[in-house]
Structure 1
């Protein structure tokens, strides 16, 4: 083995940096002078290294794919467990529904119950959000063939939205249940207690006047209550409205099923009940005459 003297090693170490700088400058000048040669050299080096890169990339890609498959298997296992639990709940609900269906059928047979006829409805498009004299109302475009009456209820695909209050030749205005002028008789489905749902110009109308000793339960389902009084114009019972929510201030509110902020189409139902009569059609008692 050849050993270099210390002075020679020191001289070489001092010259290494200038030599490297000179080589770098020479390469740069060569690249400027003959770009075609540099490009060919670079591509030749790339051709030599590409199989090495490909060989190194295969195990890395395989490991990445394997980790992705492991993550997907873990997610599928979690989804499978959730689906099994949901399927079990649905089976219990199905058994309960079948038992209730048999019980209802038996009770109807014993009572000679005549079921109500299916209500008819007309679908109309919401063309404006202008409430006119109301803060929260929508305007519907109706054709001359649509027989719409005041007091008829309007529902979207999820639940109760409001009631028809004004009718024109080609339009109708629906007062939404969130308007401060709206009052709806409702039933708390869990306790069967009746209450009044009053609009307050917010997204959640409030519950009022429920019976003493009965408190609305958080999450309890709210449906319409059948009321044949003139004030509510024969509202049908059992229409889905929403669920009870208690506010931070301690007020019982209703989180509506209907999406009133994105109404596009509304169904106007005719349940065969008398609608709200216009003021001029309401019979007024004659004034008493003095003797």
Structure 2
């Protein structure tokens, strides 16, 4: 009886023999590659052939990782951009406040200089808001009866006369500007001391000198200052400047522009009442000889 397999079932050397052969071959390749770099080029070629497979295997994970990094960077950039925008807006607002404070300080310095030159006691007041009536030129200030403000006081800025106090409340006061239709100021022409009166013509309108003779000695550029003859306005405060003279057959129409910035400033000076003026006479004295003529009749 045959115990060995047929010839066509033979599979080569025995397993032990193949193990020894491949072990010796492996050791030889390891030693040769370590000493002489025999397999370097082969590895390079194999790596080139295997790179597409490696890229295909790692591409989804790399894409997910890059997408996550991109989204996180976008979120961080948006947050940083928002912070920078907020900081820029805050810096602009602070710059505008600083600019407003510089203008306010300049205005206060000018008012301080004006207070020294007027030579009359005064108090600083701040404008709160405009009057409610749009057809009048009035301002409401933050000084009232409790602070010693009285009706008739004159309000000025660094350039000239702004208006007059016409109503006083305990904590506030109302100033009628010189541009109001019901306001008039006795003035003199600074150049030749010609006395006249300046009338307001309404909000955002120029001033006017009325009822002057056609040949009146008023020229373009003349400065009108307070005359002081009314006992209210101090002498010499600038009021207006002549910008137009129309000479008709009956009267001359003189148009003036206020010297003071009646619609700009935030702070004003309120001049105290004059106490050095004698009281106004209650009744006019009789002409000389009027009593004798009556007695003789």
Q: Which has the larger radius of gyration?
A: 2
What TM-score, normalized to structure 1?
A: 0.48
What TM-score, normalized to structure 2?
A: 0.47
